[in-house]
């Protein structure tokens, strides 16, 4: 079962595999038919959440979810327009040999604001990068409409990923995720990106008004060469 209940909305986790490889996984779920009429697709060094067929572009439902670089080995993940800004900011910090602190994540999320929908959907994001000492840095953050953005630096254990969701609660009455209640974790024993995507997809099965709410899951694992990202998707 998903650690954030039957309806996490959009959800991300960062951490490490049992072999010590950096890993990320992103989940999209939706209660309405319009929310479910989407798919994840690879595009250059990233993954976009886009429409099925010839549906018109919607900036709240269609966006770059994952962006990565096989030179710096940086990867960003988020549920909206902030993905590219976060990626470029932390890549600039990497290229200038600067410390990738949580402050940058909070400022970027505050700038993005919560989504302008009737549920004030929070913005969530994550970044995997390294500091000037070449130590891995895992940062996740959330921006709710009713509080300043909060970021958290994660110190993952092997085989464990820690994350955030936009919602927590019942399918009929979801509430904005509150990080004060604790950050959800998942255990992962696999070795590949598709195994990771399948794992989160499978534990997130839930039905609303007779339909499976799952849209897609995207998994990413950095290879043993410490630069190359392997990315895979599971669409409904």
Query: How many CB atoms lie under 10 A from the CB of residue 166?
Result: 27
pLDDT (tens place) for every residue of the chain, 236 residues total = 999 999 999 999 999 999 999 999 999 999 999 899 999 999 999 999 999 988 888 888 999 999 999 999 999 999 999 999 999 999 999 999 999 999 999 999 999 999 999 999 999 999 999 999 999 999 999 999 999 999 999 999 999 999 999 999 789 999 999 999 999 999 999 999 999 999 999 999 999 999 999 999 999 999 999 899 999 999 99
Between CA 40 and CA 61 the distance in angstroms is: 11
Give the pLDDT of residue 59: 85
Query: What H or E segment, with its residue span, contains residue 193?
Result: helix 193-202
Strands 207-208 and 185-187: unpaired
Contacts of 200 (CB under 8 A, 6+ apart): 2, 11, 13, 25, 27, 186, 217, 219
Q: Decide: 154 and 128 in contact? Cβ < 8 Å.
A: no
| Cβ neighbourhood burial of 133 (10 Å; 0-12, 13-18, 19+) | exposed
Say if pTM beats, i.e. exceeds, 0.95. yes
pLDDT value at position 205? Answer: 97
Tokens 């609660």 locate to: 169
What is residue 172's predicted lDDT score, i.e. its pLDDT? Answer: 93
Q: Tell me, what's the pLDDT at 169?
A: 78
Q: Which domains does the chain have, with CATH numbers?
A: 10-235 (3.60.20.20)
Other CB atoms within 10 Å distance of the CB of residue 229:
21
């Amino acid at each position: 079962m998903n650690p954030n209940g039957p309806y996490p909305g959009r959800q991300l986790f960062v951490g490490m595999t049992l072999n010590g490889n950096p890993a990320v996984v992103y989940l999209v779920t939706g209660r309405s038919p319009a929310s479910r009429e989407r798919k994840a697709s690879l595009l250059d060094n990233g993954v976009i959440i886009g429409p099925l067929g010839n549906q018109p572009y919607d900036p709240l439902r269609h966006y770059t979810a994952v962006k990565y670089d096989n030179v710096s080995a940086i990867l960003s993940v988020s549920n909206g327009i902030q993905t590219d800004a976060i990626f470029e900011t932390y890549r600039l910090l990497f290229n200038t040999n600067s410390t990738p602190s949580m402050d940058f994540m909070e400022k970027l999320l505050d700038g993005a604001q919560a989504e302008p929908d009737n549920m004030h959907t929070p913005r969530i994001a994550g970044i995997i990068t390294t500091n000037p000492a070449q130590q891995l840095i895992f940062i996740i953050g959330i921006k709710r409409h009713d509080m300043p953005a909060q970021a958290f630096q994660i110190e993952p254990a092997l085989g464990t990923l820690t994350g955030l969701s936009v919602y927590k609660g019942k399918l009929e009455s979801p509430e904005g995720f509150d990080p004060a209640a604790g950050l959800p974790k998942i255990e992962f024993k696999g070795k590949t990106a598709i195994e990771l995507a399948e794992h989160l997809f499978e534990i997130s099965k839930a039905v609303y008004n007779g339909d499976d709410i799952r849209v897609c899951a995207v998994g990413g694992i950095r290879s043993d060469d410490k630069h190359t990202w392997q990315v895979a998707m599971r669409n409904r």
